[in-house]
Amino acid sequence: MNNTIANRFLNGSCVCMRVLKMGSVRVPVSQHNLVHVHRYITTINSRYPPIKDILASPEIRCSKWYEFQVSKLSGRAGGTMNVFDRTMKRRQKKWAASQEDSKKYDYLRDEVGSRVADRVYDIARTFSLALDIGCGKSHIAEHLHKDVVERLFLTDISEMSLRKTRECEIPTHCVMADEEFLPFKENTFDLVISSLSLHWINDLPGSLRQINQILKPDGVFIGAMVGGETLYELRCSLQLAELEREGGFSPHVSPYTAVTDLGNLLNLAGFNMLTVDIDDIQVHYPGILELMSDLQGMGESNCAWNRKSMLHRDTILAAAAIYQEMYGSEDGSIPATYEILYMIGWKPHESQARPAKRGSANVSFGDLSKIAQPSTKDKS
């Protein structure tokens, strides 16, 4: 899959649909079946707590879809932690999910979702209740089995994305909620997962604290988000083109979290036994216009408050030439690098391994050199 996804441009034609056919992709369930699935889930598994005991807010509109405080979306400029227009991001995701050919833009989310699922399988445990934050079309759930996750809550800011969630064997519930305001009670979930959603959050430290709160003790959070070096080729090309044609530049690629800061953020949120690693996924496109079109189809267009509303035609043509000259491949395609940051953090519990107290050692490091040396009796 990794080698296939890197060759999106092959012999002058896009091969994304070929990649989707080769991968493990399930057809989204129809609207009629979707309603039946959700209604069925509400009546089975009686040993699980009812929905009203999981949601922290009684604001429920109907028996199938739950919407939590949409008015709390960060739709106003200003503030110390207000970098992104969350209302604009909601519109972008709604538009992307409503397109008839939206499935062909899911190649990156499917790949990252499968890698997050692999990290869930690495934990030898069955999770009775799990939460997927910013699920999109449930790109992680389709790779999980019910013997690993028994019940799953799917949340997203876009109702259209929730209506197009893919079929999986795990009983699921859809909750429309903003990732910055999680509507769940404390100590509820055994597992919280997230894929390619947290990089659009304004208050990332606050969201990580909320995730820690809704986890049960000894619960685990497994997430993936876009890192700071993502799309550096596109960023550099646009900046050079604007400097040349307009005498200055404005940000067209959103700011992302650096991997050096991620561990500190998880630690400040209350997680321990942290694991952070990086994957670079490189996708080849026919040109800069196709790259920007795919980003729009993914719902990943820039939504920062200081974004520029439009690009001049001359600037785009100059950026395309610069991109091709600086990063272009021999076959005429251009690469786009996505830096994916994976994180694993555990909520503290007394059963977890802890470092020994300071000063409790009974062996000195100075004595380690004597271990390999033969004793005086052996010499005689």
Distances in Å between the Cα of 132 and the Cα atoms of 6, 145, 376 are 27, 14, 64
- φ/ψ of 190, rounded to 5, equals -85, -25
Within-domain flag for 374: no
67, 110, 112, 108: which is closest to 90 by C-alpha?
67
**Containing domain of residue 213, as a range?**
2-351
pLDDT in tens, 63-114: 334 444 443 444 444 444 677 888 888 898 889 988 888 889 999 999 999 9
Predicted local distance difference test score (pLDDT) of residue 276: 93
Looking up residue 312, the CATH number of its domain turns out to be 3.40.50.150
Predicted local distance difference test score (pLDDT) of residue 6: 43
Predicted local distance difference test score (pLDDT) of residue 291: 93
pLDDT in tens, 201-224: 888 889 999 999 999 999 999 999
Within-domain flag for 359: no
Within-domain flag for 299: yes
Indicate the DSSP class of residue 354. Answer: -
Q: How confident is the model at residue 378 (pLDDT cuts 50, 70, 90)?
A: low
Domains of the chain: total: 1
Predicted local distance difference test score (pLDDT) of residue 256: 79
Predicted local distance difference test score (pLDDT) of residue 372: 63
Indicate the DSSP class of residue 184. Answer: B
pLDDT in tens, 221-265: 999 999 888 999 998 998 898 888 877 666 666 677 888 889 899
**pLDDT higher than 60, residue 188:** yes
Predicted local distance difference test score (pLDDT) of residue 245: 82
Q: How many CB atoms lie within 10 A of CB 77?
A: 9
Cα angle for residues 364, 365, 371 (degrees, 5° grid): 95
**pLDDT higher than 70, residue 194:** yes
Within-domain flag for 362: no
Within-domain flag for 116: yes
Rounded CA-CA distance 259/270 in Å is: 18
Please list, in sequence order, all residues whose beta carbon lies within 8 angstroms of the beta carbon of residue 10, skipping any fewer than 6 positions away.
none
Within-domain flag for 259: yes
Rounded CA-CA distance 235/254 in Å is: 9
Within-domain flag for 376: no
Instruction: Decide: 69 and 86 in contact? Cβ < 8 Å.
Output: no
Predicted local distance difference test score (pLDDT) of residue 120: 95
Long-range CB contacts (< 8 A, 24+ apart) of 48-54?
A: 48/128, 48/129, 48/151, 51/173, 53/185, 54/129, 54/153, 54/184, 54/185, 54/188
Tokens representing 54 are: 């999981």
Q: Which amino acid is at 60?
A: I
Instruction: Decide: 234 and 323 in contact? Cβ < 8 Å.
Output: yes
pLDDT in tens, 3-61: 434 444 333 334 333 322 333 333 333 333 333 333 222 222 334 455 656 666 544 33
Within-domain flag for 365: no
Predicted local distance difference test score (pLDDT) of residue 244: 83
* % residues pLDDT > 90 (the chain): 38
Question: What mean pLDDT do residues 262-274 have?
Answer: 92
265, 289, 287, 288: which is closest to 341 by C-alpha?
265
